[in-house]
Chain A
Amino acid sequence: MKKQIVSLFVIAGLAASAVAGPLSFDFKDPKGVNNAQFKLDAPLEAISGSAGGISGTVTYDPANPGATKGKIIVAADSLTVPNTMMKDHMHGGQWLDVATHKEITFEAKELKNVKTTDTITTADAVGTFTLKGVTKEITVPVKLTYLKDKLGQRMPNAKGDLLVVRANFTIKRSDYGVNPKAPTDKVADEIDLTLSIAGAAPQK
């Protein structure tokens, strides 16, 4: 009788894990590795920098990666360039106005053209991008890498999974009211954005 009860629990456990459903990944990285990089390549000057203040949540189902949804937030005041004066200008009211518009966000609503090989999924994420209070629908090519049971390798004594999200896309600063009158030979209109982030889904 005892053996039968134990077997029942094991079967129930396996069944539960088989239909575990979507996992929720938190992208607030305690190791501070997550980053967003930006580059503006104007004829007279190339400006590049990065941002580290990343948070957000993504729901990912290993059995159905195409159903991935989520929202990634970048703290606007974490954007930095290698020149202090340029950084202060960039944060100012004419450019990003970080005092008023504290967050830059991308909310993925659906994935299209989903291709999954083993633990890697590539897709076009359709969603809304918000910068300086202006929201527009855009499509972003993304690469998702699901790392099962790898959380412990980054955070000792923790158990769970990791999800690495990589994306590279371009926006126009004039579309979002980021100093649209600034000459494009000095500050390019197109901003090339690269996102390299990892989220954690600890086991409960």
Chain B
Amino acid sequence: MRKALQVVAVVLALAIGASWAALGANRGWTKTSREVRQLDEVTGIEGITNVKAFLPGVDFLGAGLLIAAGFAGASLLFRKPKQTTT
């Protein structure tokens, strides 16, 4: 059980970190939309359209790492399996 929780903690931390980095390593709060800009050639104005998007921020990274740390911490509640010597 101890080993299983530690593996879950490491996998979760890596998955959270990798997905945060892969989705732009946004150092602000998590964004649920992003701006798409398109130039109007007649007026020279850049029109802004907001489209739905999930861009995880530092809150997402922090929460994920905290949960992973929780799993790692919980693993300490279980004793190490005794090593049998022959």
Q: Are A and B co-members of a single complex?
A: yes
Q: B interface, how many residues as a size bin?
A: 20 to 34
Q: Tell me how far the C-beta of B85 lies from the nearest C-beta in chain A, rounded to whole angstroms.
A: 56
User: Complex Cα distance A164/B43, Å?
Assistant: 7
Give which listed residue, B28, B34, B44, B55, contacts A164 with CB less than 8 A.
B44
Tell me the residues in window 37-73 of chain B with beta carbons closer than 8 Å to chain A beta carbons.
38, 40, 42-50, 55
Contact A198 B43 (CB under 8 A): yes
B78 at the interface (CB under 8 A from A): no
A90 to B: closest C-beta gap in Å:
13
CB pair A164–B45 under 8 Å, yes or no, is yes
Given contacts A32-B47, A37-B48, A82-B35, whether A198 and B28 have CB atoms under 8 Å apart is: no
- Chain B contact surface mostly: strand
The verdict on A162 contacting B43 (CB below 8 Å), with A82-B35, A83-B30, A83-B31 known, is yes
User: CA–CA, A83 to B53, complex, Å?
Assistant: 10
A82 CA to B55 CA in the complex, in Å? 9
Q: How far is the CA of A155 from the CA of B60 in the complex (A)?
A: 44
Is the pair B42, A83 in contact by a Cβ cutoff of 8 Å? Answer: no
Query: A35, B43: Cβ atoms under 8 Å?
Result: no
Within 8 A of B (CB), among A37-70: 37, 45-46, 50, 52
Chain B: residues with CB nearer than 8 A to chain A?
A: 28-35, 38, 40, 42-50, 55
